[in-house]
């Protein structure tokens, strides 16, 4: 069976794009190409990753300029068509700036950049993003200065009612409301998360807790 083709977006300032390509191409063996931020044709792709980094230098606000990239319109159409989009760290920030996910990412509670491995709990919400996990408690790396997820009480209630919260911190590193580390849209095809699953896919690194996320997505695309 031919494996689906993935794309990894590259903005000026992206720095985790090659990590994502490594996870998809070298670990899972999926055809994967890097998508320059000025491209507009995504028709050859089954799923798209917005990686971590500092898109456009994170001037103004994280993800605020990336929302106007030439790619943005095609990305909106890609998501609206039900295709899968994963935003990691800066990618999560971009998805909220674009309105593809609710809420916002703001400065960490302690105003410090946090770079460490944190415990996470998977919420019991059915999703291809978490379907391949045999356990509900894992650990993934984080690396962010503006990773505090904020949402109004109304939005938070809606996220809970629609079962859109997929990841929560076991120990909250940044002040995120309700310990939220990752959410999806109502349709379930767009996921944003602050932890870095692409940095935890190789046994050589001592952690493979990020691998089931990509395996679950791949299984969904092949079903």
CB-based contacts of 129: which residues, under 8 Å, 6+ apart?
A: 86, 166, 184, 188, 191, 213, 216, 217
89 is annotated as an active-site residue: yes
198 is annotated as an active-site residue: yes
In 3D space, the residue among 206, 154, 155 whose CA is nearest the CA of residue 183 turns out to be: 155
Q: How far apart are CA 120 and CA 180, in angstroms?
A: 10
Average pLDDT score over residue span 23-31: 97
In the prediction, which pLDDT does 106 show? 97
Average pLDDT score over residue span 185-193: 97
In the prediction, which pLDDT does 60 show? 80
Q: Is 80 exceeded by the pLDDT of residue 1?
A: no
Residue 93: which H helix or E strand, with range? Answer: helix 90-97
Contact (Cβ atoms closer than 8 angstroms) between residue 66 and residue 97: yes
Q: How far apart are CA 169 and CA 118, in angstroms?
A: 7
Domain 6-222 has CATH 3.40.50.880: yes
Condensed to tens digits (0 to 9), the pLDDT of residues 83-98 reads: 999 999 999 999 999 9
* Catalytic residue (choose from 89, 148, 184, 220): 89
Q: Is 90 exceeded by the pLDDT of residue 58?
A: no
Q: How far apart are CA 142 and CA 207, in angstroms?
A: 13
* Catalytic residue (choose from 97, 148, 196, 220): 196
pLDDT band of residue 2 (cuts 50, 70, 90) is confident
CB-based contacts of 45: which residues, under 8 Å, 6+ apart?
A: 5, 6, 7, 33, 35, 78, 83
Domain assignments of the chain as residue spans, ordered by start: 6-222
Tokens of 150: 């904020």
Condensed to tens digits (0 to 9), the pLDDT of residues 195-213 reads: 999 999 999 989 999 999 9
Average pLDDT score over residue span 12-31: 97
In the prediction, which pLDDT does 61 show? 87
CB-based contacts of 58: which residues, under 8 Å, 6+ apart?
A: 13, 90, 146
Which residue's structure tokens are 């971009």?
Answer: 94
* Catalytic residue (choose from 16, 97, 184, 198): 198
In the prediction, which pLDDT does 59 show? 83
Q: Is 90 exceeded by the pLDDT of residue 100?
A: yes
The torsion of the CA quartet 131, 8, 120, 155, rounded to 10 degrees, works out to: -90
pTM for this prediction: 0.96
Q: How far apart are CA 62 and CA 93, in angstroms?
A: 6
Contact (Cβ atoms closer than 8 angstroms) between residue 169 and residue 200: no
């Amino acid at each position: 069976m031919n494996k689906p083709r993935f794309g990894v977006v590259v903005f000026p300032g992206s720095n985790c794009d090659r990590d994502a390509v490594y996870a998809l191409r070298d670990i899972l063996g999926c055809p994967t190409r890097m998508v320059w931020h000025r491209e507009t044709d995504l028709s050859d792709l089954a799923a798209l990753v917005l990686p971590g980094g500092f898109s456009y230098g994170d001037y103004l606000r994280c993800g605020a300029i990336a929302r106007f990239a030439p790619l943005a319109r095609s990305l909106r159409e890609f998501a609206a068509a039900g295709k899968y989009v994963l935003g990691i760290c800066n990618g999560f920030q971009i998805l909220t700036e674009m309105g593809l996910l609710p809420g916002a990412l703001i400065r960490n509670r302690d105003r410090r950049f946090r770079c460490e491995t944190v415990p996470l709990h998977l919420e019991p919400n059915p999703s291809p993003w978490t379907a391949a996990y045999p356990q509900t408690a894992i650990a993934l790396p984080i690396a962010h200065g503006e990773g505090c997820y904020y949402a109004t009480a109304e939005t938070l209630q809606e996220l809970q009612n629609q079962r859109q919260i997929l990841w929560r911190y076991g120990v909250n590193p940044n002040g995120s409301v309700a310990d939220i580390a990752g959410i999806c849209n109502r349709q379930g095809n767009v996921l944003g998360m602050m932890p870095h699953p692409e940095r935890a896919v190789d046994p050589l690194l001592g952690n493979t807790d990020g691998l089931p996320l990509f395996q679950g997505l791949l299984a969904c695309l092949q079903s």
